[in-house]
Structure 1
């Protein structure tokens, strides 16, 4: 067997072990913890029960729904089913979406690298949490990636982009990126469709819309996040992470990254995929206290895949350095320990390291020209 074959075989073994490890971790987590809130929201629409916590209710409790009323409508079909059946269907959907996203990200890599990348993908803590708990971040990410793939076609890209942002505001910065990149048509189409959907939802569900308007400002409060996260120390980190300025600074930085990346993508269309992935990786920091939510780290996966794709075109030393940096960033985003802010610091450093690595691959030209994907050939404006 050739050396490349041995590398591939070792990667397959590692991928199988990673999958088993992911299943083991998932078995220790509360399955459907987040999904139950969506399922109950659908039920509350059917029964007329309040959709959002009342003004005297502490935020951050289990089964709390925090999204637009239109999102709750999407879960009405599942709400008609018993919870166990609905959870099984939702989990199967999450696994399918994870598989599709994983294939899309890993397929451009060299064949001998794919099993290794698959191992890192399936045992990525943010992804394991996302699929097991049943949130909608992964679906929002998949919609955003699909919109980018169809970016030259304003209407379908706009529909997908509006769905990605409407489902969860998580990838909102992509709108700024598209505009700065000169791709305003998908944003205009998505904005028009989103406005129609919001108006229709408000007309169809006026009481629920008023309920949301009263509830939404409370999401910006720090007290409920502090109680929900339950990470009081160490004091040196608490002084930073729990300050009023830090989340605002990160939010401003994420907006700045989106705009700068969009301008860069407009000037250098050959690298626009990387700039788009960079915007995605930092988009979660726009959300209030977004750096606390481990599942948001899945937004960094496209950038990691892009960096590995670029590493394949480098000389051996540079390739090893890039792959090592991506692997280190992966390791930094893996720790999870309750009661302390230290893992949050590692996660943040991991994202910053990955972003810096990606930017360096753009600044330093590749020795071997990168092969343009079919998606880029179809999407040249």
Structure 2
């Protein structure tokens, strides 16, 4: 393949792929200066985290940015005046193998605009994965975008070659999808999600009975929602995510803050991107839903359907429910200890294990690495110790924020002193 032309395609299609965050990626661009060693270009190499916590480098690209749809929020929409490009199947395979042999990447994240039809597009994505697995003997990680509207036969074949599949729901509600992408509907997303869920479960059962049974999307499926392009509340967004986790067994829901990319009276004013802190709060709340036993109504709802931006969702819940505290660290069950601000899942498990041998005191918790300056206001140690009763919720919040800011300032001062 002509190097210059492929390089140009790579720049275009890697840049277009950056708006899909459903592999939790981050790119780097750093030029070579003064004849230094190497450089880093934003040509599609990103980082993702596997289920076991490993950070892996992926080639993240679109097969093409041509698209038959005209979704207002999408940079690749058909009415957008941008430079278009498309890889051939062979070019994607060769790029992946070439980058892999040079140890640049450990896998491939492949999405695409929809050209001609969903089946036409999905068939090419599947051909790439099949060629990598069967002809190139590629055993690296492959994440494929599952195209809504594609046939079940293609979805099934994709799952036999890919580690993870993702069908993007895009908008949190049907109403917003109809406003910004009138040619689409949520059912076209829900159907393949349900199909993939059934296939994943079915293959897992087959694997239990025969170790020679084929694996199917062993890393599960994920989805992405664009937030801030339409007026949905955090309660609506998290409610949709919770439904996906419970009904579709999704591994991850990703939240992508809307980035202003066009002038359209259906979209927010140009120059007002979604604050990154809102994305962060949604991810924190999502974590609480999946690993801490919270439900959506505990985190958002009532008078304020949106997450607070000044405190994390776990602390926000604790401040609204001070009657649940203090928690006696030596007698409380694991689920209650996990709800204490400053204590994570692993730390809570360490606490429950350690108290079998000793009655725990503050110094023991500090040795476990919990955020004690936050947790101490919500804990008791089998003795009268209820400092949070001295404060109103607002006073306690300000106290914790002050301690938090003081810690950051001290850390920054220490770093400066090193120079």
Shorter chain as denominator, the TM-score bin is: under 0.3
Which structure has the higher relative contact order (CA within 8 Å, separation 6+)? 1
TM-score (structure 1 length as normaliser): 0.25
- Asked which structure has the greater CA Rg, the reply is 2
Higher strand share: 2
